[in-house]
C-alpha cells in the first residue's frame, strides 16, 4: 500500500511560505539525518531558490544516524549552491548554539550592526524544529512532542541582539514521490501512526536493516540474519520475543512494533535509511518501472 497524503492545502501553504521567505535572510531547513531527502519538502528548496535565500541545511538527529551516511549526505548537500549542510543533535544544547553563527556566515550582508539577521526554521513535522527552537531560545516556547504536527502557529522570536527566529509557516508535509519515502517516514515516525500499517512499514525497514546493518540485527535479537528477508525477519523477531496470538500463531503486528520501536529509540545502533547512492539507485529503478 503506497503511503501518500492529499493535503488539499498545498497552494495556500506555498503562498504562506513564499510570503514568509520574502521577509527573512536565511532559511534553516531541518531534516532527519537518517533520511535527509525523504524528510525534506522540495517546496522549501524551490522557494528558496526563487527568493534567492541561502540555506542552512540541518541534518538533525545525527545521534541516531549512521555517521558515514551522514558524512556522505553533507558532502552531497555542500556541493549545492547557497547551501551549508551541518549534522546536529538539536537535543544537544552545544550543537544548537552553533546555528546562529552558521546563519551569520550565510548572510554576511546583514552583518553591518544595523540590520537584524532574520532566520526562519522550516521542515516537515517531527524532524526536531521545536526542539531546536527551544534550545536556541534556552527556554520552553514550542511544545515538543513525539506526534507529528505539534507546531501550529507561526511565531517570530527575538534571539538576542540583532537576531530573530521565525518558525515554520504552516504545515510542511513531505512530498512523497516514491513509495519508499512514505515507508521511511513512517518507520521514523514522521507521519501519523494511524496512517499506515505497521507490519508493512516494519517489513520495509527490516529489508534495509538486513541489507545494510545485519550485524546490528544479529546483536539485538540474537538471530542469524543470513538468508532472511523482511517478512522472515519479522517472524524471527516475533518468535524470539514470544509474540503469540491466542491459539499459538505468531503476532506479527506485535513483532513489527518491536522492530519499529527499537529503530525509533536508537537501540539497534546508529542507522540511516538512505544514502546519496542508495537514493540514486532507488530513483533509477522506480523511474525505469
| Binding footprint of ligand GDP on the chain (CB under 6 A) | 60-61, 63-64, 89-91, 123, 125-131, 144-146, 150-151
Min dist CB 189 to ligand GDP, Å, is 8
Min dist CB 68 to ligand GDP, Å, is 18
Q: How far apart are CA 287 and CA 31, in angstroms?
A: 24
Helical packing angle, 252-265 and 198-212, nearest 10° = 60
Helical packing angle, 214-221 and 230-240, nearest 10° = 20
Q: Which residue matches cell numbers 515554520?
A: 168
Min dist CB 33 to ligand GDP, Å, is 8
Q: Which of 257, 203, 252 is nearest to 231 (CA)?
A: 203
Nearest to ligand GDP of 162, 266 (CB atom): 266
Q: Where are the alpha helices (DSSP H) in the chain?
A: 10-22, 42-51, 67-78, 93-96, 99-106, 129-137, 179-187, 198-212, 214-221, 230-240, 252-265, 276-288
Min dist CB 192 to ligand GDP, Å, is 12
Helix (H), strand (E), coil (C) string for 102-143: HHHHHCHHHCCCCCCEEEEEECCCCCCHHHHHHHHHCCCCCC
Question: Positive or negative CA dihedral for 97, 274, 2, 189?
Answer: negative
Nearest to ligand GDP of 66, 199 (CB atom): 66
Min dist CB 135 to ligand GDP, Å, is 9
Q: Report the SS3 class of residue 56.
A: strand
Q: How far apart are the first and last CA of the chain?
A: 17
Q: How far apart are CA 216 and CA 82, in angstroms?
A: 37
Nearest to ligand GDP of 125, 230 (CB atom): 125
Nearest to ligand GDP of 95, 274 (CB atom): 95
Q: How far apart are CA 190 and CA 41, in angstroms?
A: 12
Min dist CB 137 to ligand GDP, Å, is 13
Nearest to ligand GDP of 153, 222 (CB atom): 153
Nearest to ligand GDP of 136, 236 (CB atom): 136
Min dist CB 206 to ligand GDP, Å, is 21
Q: Which residue matches cell numbers 533509477?
A: 284
Nearest to ligand GDP of 131, 203 (CB atom): 131
Amino acid at each position: 500500500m503506497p503511503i501518500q497524503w492529499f493535503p488539499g492545502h498545498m497552494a495556500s501553504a506555498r503562498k504562506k511560505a513564499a510570503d514568509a521567505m520574502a521577509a527573512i535572510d536565511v532559511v534553516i531547513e531541518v531534516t532527519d539525518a537518517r533520511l535527509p531527502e525523504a524528510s525534506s519538502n522540495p517546496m522549501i528548496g524551490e522557494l528558496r531558490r526563487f527568493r534567492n535565500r541561502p540555506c542552512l541545511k540541518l541534518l538533525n538527529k545525527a545521534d541516531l544516524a549512521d555517521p558515514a551516511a551522514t558524512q556522505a549526505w553533507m558532502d552531497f548537500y555542500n556541493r549545492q549552491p547557497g547551501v551549508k549542510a551541518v549534522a546536529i543533535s538539536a537535543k544537544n544544547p552545544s550543537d544548537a548554539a552553533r546555528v546562529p553563527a552558521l546563519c551569520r556566515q550565510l548572510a554576511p550582508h546583514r552583518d553591518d550592526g544595523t540590520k537584524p539577521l532574520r532566520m526562519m526554521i522550516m521542515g516537515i513535522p517531527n524532524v526536531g524544529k521545536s526542539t531546536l527552537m527551544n534550545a536556541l531560545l534556552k527556554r520552553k516556547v514550542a511544545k515538543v512532542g513525539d506526534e507529528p504536527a505539534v507546531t501550529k502557529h507561526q511565531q517570530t522570536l527575538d534571539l538576542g541582539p540583532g537576531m530573530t527566529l521565525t518558525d515554520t509557516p504552516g504545515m510542511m508535509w513531505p512530498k512523497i514521490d516514491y513509495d519508499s519515502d512514505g515507508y521511511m517516514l513512517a518507520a521514523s515516525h514522521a507521519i501519523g501512526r494511524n496512517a499506515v500499517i505497521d507490519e508493512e512499514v516494519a517489513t520495509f525497514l527490516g529489508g534495509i536493516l538486513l541489507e545494510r546493518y545485519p550485524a546490528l540485527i544479529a546483536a539485538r535479537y540474537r538471530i542469524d540474519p543470513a538468508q532472511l528477508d523482511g517478512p522472515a525477519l519479522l517472524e524471527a523477531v516475533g518468535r524470539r520475543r514470544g509474540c503469540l496470538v491466542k491459539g499459538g500463531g505468531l503476532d506479527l503486528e506485535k513483532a513489527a512494533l518491536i522492530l519499529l520501536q527499537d529503530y525509533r529509540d536508537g537501540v539497534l545502533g546508529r542507522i540511516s535509511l538512505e544514502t546519496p547512492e542508495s537514493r540514486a539507485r532507488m530513483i533509477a529503478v522506480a523511474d525505469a518501472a
